[in-house]
Amino acid sequence: MEILIGTTAENKQIVLKNYIHGSPLETDLELKHGNQIKLEAPKGSNCVLMKNYYLSCDPYMRGRMQDFQRSYVPPFSPGSAIEGFGVSKVVDSDDPNFKRGDFVAGITNWEEYTLIHKTHQLRKIQKDDEIPISYHVGLLGMPGFTAYAGFYEVCEPKKGDYVYVSAASGAVGQLVGQLARLHGCYVVGSAGTSQKVELLKNRLGFNEAFNYKDEIDLEAALARYFPQGIDIYFDNVGGAMLDAALGNMRAHGRVAICGMVSQKSRTDTQTFRNMFAVISKRITIKGFLQSDFIDLYPRFLEDVTSYYKQGKIVYLEDIIDGLENAPAAFVRLFSGKNVGKQVIRLASE
Residues 6+ apart with CB under 8 A from 2: none
Q: In a 10 Å sphere around its CB, with 0-12 CB exposed, 13-18 middle and 19+ buried, how is residue 79 labelled?
A: exposed
147 or 313, CB closer to a second copy? 147
For the window 135-154, what string marks contact with a second copy as x by the rule CB under 8 A? --------------------
Of the candidate residues 118, 266, 299, 309, the single one contacting a second copy (CB under 8 A): 266
131 or 278, CB closer to a second copy? 278
Contact region with a second copy (CB under 8 A), list: 24-32, 124-132, 266-274, 332-340: 266-274
Say if residues 200 and 211 touch (Cβ distance below 8 Å): no
Say if residues 33 and 61 touch (Cβ distance below 8 Å): no
70 binds a second copy (CB under 8 A): yes
33 or 72, CB closer to a second copy? 72
Minimum CB separation from a second copy for residue 286, in Å? Answer: 5
Of the candidate residues 258, 301, 304, 333, the single one contacting a second copy (CB under 8 A): 258
Minimum CB separation from a second copy for residue 345, in Å? Answer: 29
Minimum CB separation from a second copy for residue 257, in Å? Answer: 5
For the window 271-310, what string marks contact with a second copy as x by the rule CB under 8 A? xxxxxxxxxxxxxxxxxxx--x------------------
Minimum CB separation from a second copy for residue 278, in Å? Answer: 4
35 binds a second copy (CB under 8 A): no
Contact region with a second copy (CB under 8 A), list: 158-166, 196-204, 256-264, 327-335: 256-264
Of the candidate residues 72, 74, 228, 335, the single one contacting a second copy (CB under 8 A): 72
Q: What is the dihedral of CA 231, 232, 233, 236, to 10 degrees?
A: 180
59 or 86, CB closer to a second copy? 59
Give backbone dihedrals phi and psi of 293, rounded to 5 degrees, phi first. Answer: -115, 20
Per-residue DSSP letters for 162-222?
Answer: EEEESSTTSTTHHHHHHHHHHTT-EEEEEESSHHHHHHHHHTS--SEEEEGGG-S-HHHHH
The rounded distance, in Å, linking the Cα atoms of 55 and 63 is 17
Minimum CB separation from a second copy for residue 163, in Å? Answer: 19
For the window 226-245, what string marks contact with a second copy as x by the rule CB under 8 A? ------------x-------
Written as one letter, the residue type at 324 is E
Q: What is the dihedral of CA 52, 56, 61, 64, to 10 degrees?
A: -10
Minimum CB separation from a second copy for residue 349, in Å? Answer: 35
Minimum CB separation from a second copy for residue 180, in Å? Answer: 20
- To the nearest 10 degrees (0 to 180), the angle between helices 173-182 and 297-309 is 80
The rounded distance, in Å, linking the Cα atoms of 18 and 75 is 11
Please count the residues of this chain forming the interface with a second copy, following the rule CB under 8 A. 34
The rounded distance, in Å, linking the Cα atoms of 30 and 42 is 29
Of the candidate residues 263, 315, 323, 341, the single one contacting a second copy (CB under 8 A): 263
10 or 268, CB closer to a second copy? 268
33 or 70, CB closer to a second copy? 70
DSSP state letter for 109: E
Minimum CB separation from a second copy for residue 214, in Å? Answer: 24
Residues 6+ apart with CB under 8 A from 162: 185, 186, 188, 226, 228, 229, 230, 231, 232, 250
Give the residues lining the site for a second copy (CB under 8 A): 70-72, 238, 257-260, 263, 266-289, 292
